Amino acid sequence: MKKELVTFDHVSFAYASENVVDDVSFSVHEADFIGLIGQNGSGKTTLLKLMTGLLEPSSGHITRLSRHLVGYVPQKSSQTGRHFPITCEELVLQGRIAKRGLFSMLSKNDQKKAWQALDAVGLLEKKNELVRELSGGQQQRVFIARALASEPKLLILDEPTVGVDEASQEEFYMLLAALRREKHLAIIIVSHDVEVVIREVNSLLCMNRTLVYHGIPEKFVEGNYAEQMYGKGKKFIHHEH
Amino acid sequence: MLEIFEYSFMIRAFSAGAIIGLLAPLIGTFLVARRYSLIADSLAHVSLAGVAIGLITGIYPVYTALGTTIIAALLIEQLRSSKRLSGESALAIFLSGGLAVAITLIGLANGFNVNLFSYLFGSIATVQNIDVWVIAGLGVTVGGIIILLYKELFFLSFEEEVAIVQGVPAKVMNSMLMILTAVTVALSMRIVGALLVGALMVIPVIAAMQVARSFKATVFYAVGLGFVSVWAGLFAAYYLNIPAGGAIVLSSLALLLGSMLLRR
């Protein structure tokens, strides 16, 4: 039996009086690779914020990992490194800051961990370059390296492939596969690109305020869940590989 | 020795100016990184209300300005973090609100005079010994706290949510940054004037961002450029007989232009 990392037990969350997440229950286990899909406004981002502890549920209960075991990579728009001068190494070192604690300096060991994280995403030789001067795909990998530097058990990625070209996207999924293999990471990935996600992950969570579907991607394709989520006429093609 | 340093008021201006020149861009770096540079202007307008209270009550105006800016800074942070208002709306309200309170108080006391103008536009001739001591004392304190909390402020300024997820105590740190900003604004007012404080906190940082090759370098360049701006401005003010605040900000703009040309 694989260890449970996060458990949602009848969790609801309301802004004002309307539930944007309604009675959701599921668990994330060690080494899971979960795709979280759903339309805009379906409650995906709220679910992530509940999972990371940025929000607390209005009702129900969440069992979470302790904070430093969660690596969180938010959507692109919030990433200041894209306009402010910061080197890859400086950005990845941020992942060590909370671990080190107040009033103490980062150590040689922290730097070593940062370099290992950069190496894991294949960007060690760019450590002294500015993040804003990297390509979109490379920037995405630096932000993942920062999450890795904190040595998490769970990696949460919010829309990581937006604005990344197709070749880099393929590389990106290869990187995730390698991380799962080598570091036994559980990964949750939010994406609009449902067809790609279905091909890659081994478990799907489909949100439409509540959990419409939770299970293996194959069953999702066979069932009519896509219509429930996106309206009629939407079909998915399943690729074997 | 240069003639300019034979006047004790100029020595006071250069000493206080040096501290402000180093401190304002140091705080400014964190504000610019979080795209929150306008807070300096909002707090500066609020600080005028504090100056008005001081002029009316006879209390040393820098103290009353410190009190009002710190309270306003904490209120703005509270509004921002509770998401009841967007950060931008909170800033706009305090900017005009602070000025309105200042004008009303001063009008009631019939006190539109030279003394007030020295706080609006800065005045090197009226910098007193007490100003230098207060600026030095609080300046060193603010600088020390920033060094102590440097890594947390750095992380939060770049990505607040990620920092919170990883366990950085954001509430305390953000309030602390707001208090430090408020103190710096109130102190800078004597030298550059309330209306131009924001410029000294932001322009050297933007100039540094053009040429720096890391965050650390940005901090050092910004602090260096802030210092140079203030001293160059003070020299210009003395020899060309122009207001110091304007001269200081124009110097920083010249440095910004230079750094932009250098980047191309």
Q: How far apart are the CA of A78 and the nearest CA of chain B, in angstroms?
A: 7
Which regions in chain A score pLDDT beneath 70?
1, 77-80, 226-241
| Residue B152, pLDDT score | 96
Mean pLDDT of chain B: 92
| Residue B247, pLDDT score | 94
DSSP state of A190: E
For residues B92 and B235, what is the distance between their CA atoms, to the nearest angstrom? Answer: 34
For the record, the structure tokens of A178 come out as: 């390698």
Q: Give the residue carrying structure tokens 């009226």.
A: B126
| Residue A1, pLDDT score | 66
The closest alpha carbon to B41, from B106, B81, B96, belongs to B96
**Per-residue pLDDT averaged across B144-148, rounded?**
96
> What backbone phi and psi angles, to 5 degrees, belong to A17?
-115, -5
Q: Any CB–CB contact under 8 A between B74 and chain A? A: no
ipTM of the complex: 0.90
The closest alpha carbon to A190, from A27, A78, A39, A31, belongs to A39
Q: Give the residue carrying structure tokens 């996207």.
A: A169
The closest alpha carbon to A95, from B42, B171, B163, B62, belongs to B163
**Contacts for B10 with CB less than 8 Å, ≥ 6 apart:** B4, B124, B234, B238
For residues B234 and A125, what is the distance between their CA atoms, to the nearest angstrom? Answer: 45
pLDDT in tens, B130-139: 999 999 999 9
- Which residue of chain B comes nearest to A95, CA vs CA? B166
Single-letter residue type at A223: G
Between chains, do A84 and B209 touch, taking CB under 8 Å as contact? yes
Between chains, do A85 and B167 touch, taking CB under 8 Å as contact? no
Between chains, do B215 and A86 touch, taking CB under 8 Å as contact? yes
Best B215, B218, B263 member to test A by mutation, with max A CBs in 10 Å, is B215
Q: How, if at all, do strands A186-190 and A33-37 pair?
A: parallel
Best B30, B159, B210, B211 member to test A by mutation, with max A CBs in 10 Å, is B159
Instruction: Delineate the domains of chain B, giving CATH numbers in brackets.
Output: 2-195 (1.10.3470.10)
Between chains, do A103 and B215 touch, taking CB under 8 Å as contact? no
pLDDT over 90 for what percent of chain B?
Answer: 74
| Residue A65, pLDDT score | 86
| Residue B76, pLDDT score | 92
Q: What residues of chain B lie within 8 A of the CB of A53, using their CB?
A: 164-165
Farthest-apart Cα atoms in chain B, separation: 57
Q: With a cut of 70, say whether residue B50 has pLDDT above it.
A: yes
Q: Any CB–CB contact under 8 A between B162 and chain A? A: yes
Between chains, do A54 and B161 touch, taking CB under 8 Å as contact? yes
Q: How far apart are the CA of A16 and the nearest CA of chain B, in angstroms?
A: 12
pLDDT in tens, B70-117: 999 999 999 988 878 887 888 999 999 999 999 899 888 776 676 778
pLDDT in tens, B173-214: 999 999 999 999 999 998 899 989 999 999 999 999 999 999
Cross-chain CB nearest to A87 (options B167, B209, B214): B214
Single-letter residue type at B46: V
| Residue A241, pLDDT score | 45
Q: How far apart are the CA of B135 and the nearest CA of chain A, in angstroms?
A: 25
Single-letter residue type at A203: S
**Contacts for B247 with CB less than 8 Å, ≥ 6 apart:** B232, B233, B234, B236, B237, B240
Give chain B's length.
264
For residues B46 and B52, what is the distance between their CA atoms, to the nearest angstrom? Answer: 10
| Residue A232, pLDDT score | 53
Q: How, if at all, do strands A18-29 and A33-37 pair?
A: unpaired
| Residue B190, pLDDT score | 87
